[in-house]
């Protein structure tokens, strides 16, 4: 939640799309906003109804993509919902598509509204999120330009001919050049040059108003408004069915962010961000990234759009396009803008976290009367009723987890087997090894538990003649971090909204997750071994073969003879295993 609060302060006052994620990193909601800052913040302030409250309760992180307009945000939202199918998006989870305007590639063309783009020679314009505006535009174009209106050419002129809205190919031979000129005018209009038609409509609206024909004037006014919406540019979709990647980058003095937009079938469906330090000229670093990115994938899209670069080396390897104008250039600019935003947000959050972490470590040192601890190691014991006893240890350096320093422990049999005895054994084993290997010791040891666990750890350290501060992390009834105990078992005063409390919560959650995951792995493995122990002729080596090949006991139980032999088990032994699990009830 602390990360969310930091990211909320960095949201821009721009239109765009936001993607809500759960604690597994899964996208659970996609939304669009006219102003991202206001919309996303609204989820985390005030009260909400049941649906929104359920969504917010599962949000662990979010990301966003800025766009040039709300129309772009709406189209992108639709594309992303179809791509990720988030469980909290209901309205747009169907197969609804936005309408396009098309000039058909026929001898006598028509202007139509369609939701399906066919791979023909017809020209398509859109998509248009405002379907009413698209229909009104098609109606207007059909009134202004005498394209064919009938689906099938009739044998005699219809009403449209008499209204001068059709050239009547049913009775006259129409030159292709006539249609070519009309196509050009319609294309100019649909690409955004609406000045002449809007001026014409505006004149008709004023004329109708002066003639007190208010209904007609209102009709013209509505057409003008719809056409203005229709003319709003959006760069999210290109209507050529081409798969392409769009790359943009941003830099600081030592960090680079590369944004990759993936357009498939002309639609922007996903994006990736990569942030890394660079130690060379920015363009060289960018070129190196692009080469590695696509060589590793071994396949690439039909086009790779890049910003302007001087070197031509990439063009010799990949289908590189460096657009200078038009929608492709605007897509490049959008990628560059999002790269800059992502890099700025990342650096700002990192600086804030470093400041908060520094404050948290300094306060932790103060309340425990020790120097601010740089290296912290935390222990947790995990078992069920004393069985499958294991422990996990995590290491945090400068407030960040160092997974290379994590350790797992199987608790060795002892006369008295409880959590305090297990803690004593694990601490003894850990630091006797560090001493023997002359490895650095931690500045602080945290144990998950109360006074008993603290005393057990201190006893082990005393036997090793080590003086390392020890503190205990205690939980409440809901298994959440509740407080901190010093070496004597006394409660250390900490406010719940202090950075130190958040840091302790992260450490306690991480060591608990690590220990209980190891415990579950051992329990599953032991259950599997127990089930295999009763099979004649299956010794330790063949058990290991089976466990390496099959992910679980259920897989072994349901395996066929051929599958068992594929695991390296001889035919006779495979037959024994196969028959054993069909003569006995499967282990629950």
Residue 526 has what pLDDT?
59
Residue 388 banded pLDDT, cuts 50, 70, 90: low
CATH fold of 375-522 reads Nucleotidyltransferase; domain 5 (3.30.420)
Residue 568 banded pLDDT, cuts 50, 70, 90: confident
What pTM does this model have?
0.56
Place of tokens 């044998």: 155
In sequence order, the 6+-apart residues with CB closer than 8 A to the CB of 35 are 13, 14, 15
Residue 98 has what pLDDT?
66
Residue 341 has what pLDDT?
92
- Between CA 360 and CA 223 the distance in angstroms is 61
483-497 confidence digits (pLDDT tens): 899 998 888 888 888
Specify the higher pLDDT residue, 184 or 92: 184
Domain spans in the chain, listed from the N-terminal domain onward: 2-84, 100-230, 244-344, 375-522, 534-583
Question: In the CATH scheme, what is the code of domain 2-84?
Answer: 3.40.1440.10
Map 253-316 to HEC letters. Answer: CCEEEEEEEEEECCEEEEEEEEEEECCCCHHHHHHHHHHHHHHHHCCCCCEEECCCCCCCCHHH
The CA distances from residue 16 to 12, 72, 191, in Å, are 9, 8, 23
Residue 450 has pLDDT above 80, yes or no: yes
Residue 474 banded pLDDT, cuts 50, 70, 90: confident
Cis peptide upstream of residue 28 (ω within 30 degrees of 0):
no
First to last CA, the chain: 38
Question: In the CATH scheme, what is the code of domain 534-583?
Answer: 1.10.150.20
Q: Pick the closest to residue 31 from 23, 439, 41 (CA basis).
A: 41
Angle between helices 50-58 and 36-43 (to 10 degrees): 100
- Between CA 537 and CA 530 the distance in angstroms is 14
**CA-based angle 333:261:98, to the nearest 5?**
95
Residue 588 has what pLDDT?
37
Residue 51 has pLDDT above 70, yes or no: no
Residue 523 has pLDDT above 70, yes or no: no
């Amino acid at each position: 939640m602390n990360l969310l609060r930091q990211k909320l302060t960095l949201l821009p006052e721009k239109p765009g799309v936001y993607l809500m994620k759960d604690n597994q990193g899964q996208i659970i909601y996609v939304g669009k906003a006219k102003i991202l800052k206001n919309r996303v913040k609204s989820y985390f302030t005030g009260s909400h109804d049941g649906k929104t409250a359920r969504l917010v309760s599962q949000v662990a992180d979010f990301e966003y993509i800025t766009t040039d307009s709300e129309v772009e945000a709406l189209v992108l939202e639709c594309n992303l919902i179809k791509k990720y199918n988030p469980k909290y998006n209901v309205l747009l989870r169907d197969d609804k598509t936005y309408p396009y305007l098309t000039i058909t590639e026929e001898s006598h063309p028509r202007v139509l509204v369609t939701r399906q783009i066919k791979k023909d020679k017809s020209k398509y314009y859109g998509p248009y999120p405002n379907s009413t505006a698209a229909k009104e535009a098609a109606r207007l174009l059909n009134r202004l330009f005498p394209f064919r209106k009938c689906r099938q050419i009739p044998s005699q002129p219809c009403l449209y001919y008499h209204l001068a809205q059709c050239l009547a190919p049913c009775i006259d031979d129409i030159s292709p050049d006539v249609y070519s000129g009309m196509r050009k005018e319609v294309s100019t209009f649909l690409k955004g040059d609406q000045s002449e038609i809007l001026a014409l409509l505006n004149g008709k609206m004023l004329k109708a108003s002066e003639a007190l024909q208010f209904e007609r004037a209102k009709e013209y006014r509505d057409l003008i408004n719809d056409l203005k919406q229709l003319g709003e540019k959006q760069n999210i979709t290109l209507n050529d069915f081409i798969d392409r990647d769009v790359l943009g980058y941003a830099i600081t003095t030592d960090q680079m962010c590369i944004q990759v937009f993936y357009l498939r079938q002309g639609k922007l469906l996903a994006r990736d961000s990569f942030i890394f330090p660079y130690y060379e000229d920015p363009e060289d670093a960018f070129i190196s990234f692009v080469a590695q990115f696509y060589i590793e994938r071994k396949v690439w899209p039909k086009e790779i759009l890049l910003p302007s670069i001087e070197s031509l080396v990439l063009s010799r390897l990949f289908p590189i396009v460096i657009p200078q104008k038009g929608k492709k250039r605007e897509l490049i600019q959008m990628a560059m803008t999002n790269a800059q935003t992502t890099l700025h947000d990342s650096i700002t959050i990192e600086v804030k976290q470093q400041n908060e972490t520094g404050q948290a470590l300094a306060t932790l040192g103060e309340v425990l009367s020790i120097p601010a601890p740089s290296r912290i190691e935390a222990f947790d014991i995990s078992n069920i009723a004393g069985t499958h006893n294991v422990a996990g240890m995590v290491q945090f350096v400068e407030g960040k987890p160092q997974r290379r320093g994590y350790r797992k422990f199987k608790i060795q049999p002892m006369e008295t087997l409880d959590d305090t005895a297990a803690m004593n054994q694990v601490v003894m084993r850990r630091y006797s090894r560090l001493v023997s290997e002359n490895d650095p010791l931690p500045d602080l040891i945290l144990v998950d538990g109360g006074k008993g666990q603290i005393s057990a750890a201190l006893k082990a350290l005393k036997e090793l003649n080590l003086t390392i501060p020890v503190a205990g992390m205690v939980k409440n009834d809901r298994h959440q971090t509740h407080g901190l105990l010093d070496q004597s078992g006394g409660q250390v005063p900490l406010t719940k909204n202090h950075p130190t409390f958040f840091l302790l919560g992260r450490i306690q959650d991480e060591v608990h997750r690590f220990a209980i995951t190891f415990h579950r792995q051992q329990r599953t493995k032991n259950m599997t071994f127990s089930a295999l122990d009763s099979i004649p002729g299956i010794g330790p080596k063949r058990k290991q073969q089976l466990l390496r090949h099959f992910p679980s006991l259920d897989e072994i139980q349901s395996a066929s003879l051929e599958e068992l032999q594929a695991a390296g088990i001889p035919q006779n032994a495979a037959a024994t295993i196969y028959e054993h699990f069909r003569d006995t009830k499967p282990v629950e």
